[in-house]
């Protein structure tokens, strides 16, 4: 069985024809299992959707959690995390998850957690990962 990245279904409003439809998007990627997604992550095109009515292609600017295993690094890439308030909100979400259970808390203490909003910084991390582990 093939492990798929963490996904969810979202409602999308087409920019062109205003049609509303549902699409599956990527929320979480574990690079040790989902290496085929590295190219899409580096290009900023991981969450590509296409309107079933007019065929307009869009790339959704949504947060993606990227687990850089075995580096013990978790990165939240969110192009909209440009303000201190947004980054703090994401950090609070991480803290909430981390404090959910003792096991998660212990694991999170061993992990570096970064929030990035710049594609160039994400590309640099991904390129270093590819050089080291692939």
Q: How does pLDDT run across 36-71, given as a tens digit for each residue?
A: 899 999 998 899 999 999 999 999 988 999 999 899
Omega before 120 cis (within 30°)?
Answer: no
Find the farthest-apart pair of alpha carbons in the chain and give their distance in angstroms, rounded: 49
The pLDDT of residue 95: 83
């Amino acid at each position: 069985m093939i492990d798929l990245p963490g996904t969810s279904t979202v409602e999308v409003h087409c920019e062109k024809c205003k049609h509303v439809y549902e699409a599956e998007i990527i929320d979480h990627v574990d690079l040790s299992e989902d290496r085929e997604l590295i190219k899409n992550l580096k290009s900023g095109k991981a969450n590509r959707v296409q309107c079933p009515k007019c065929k307009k292609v869009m790339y959704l600017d949504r947060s993606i959690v990227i687990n850089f295993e075995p580096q013990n690094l978790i990165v939240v890439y969110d192009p909209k995390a440009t303000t201190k308030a947004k980054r703090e909100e994401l950090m609070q979400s991480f803290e909430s998850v981390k404090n959910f259970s003792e096991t998660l808390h212990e694991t999170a203490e061993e992990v570096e957690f970064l929030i990035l909003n710049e594609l160039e910084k994400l590309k640099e991390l991904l390129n270093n990962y590819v050089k080291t582990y692939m």
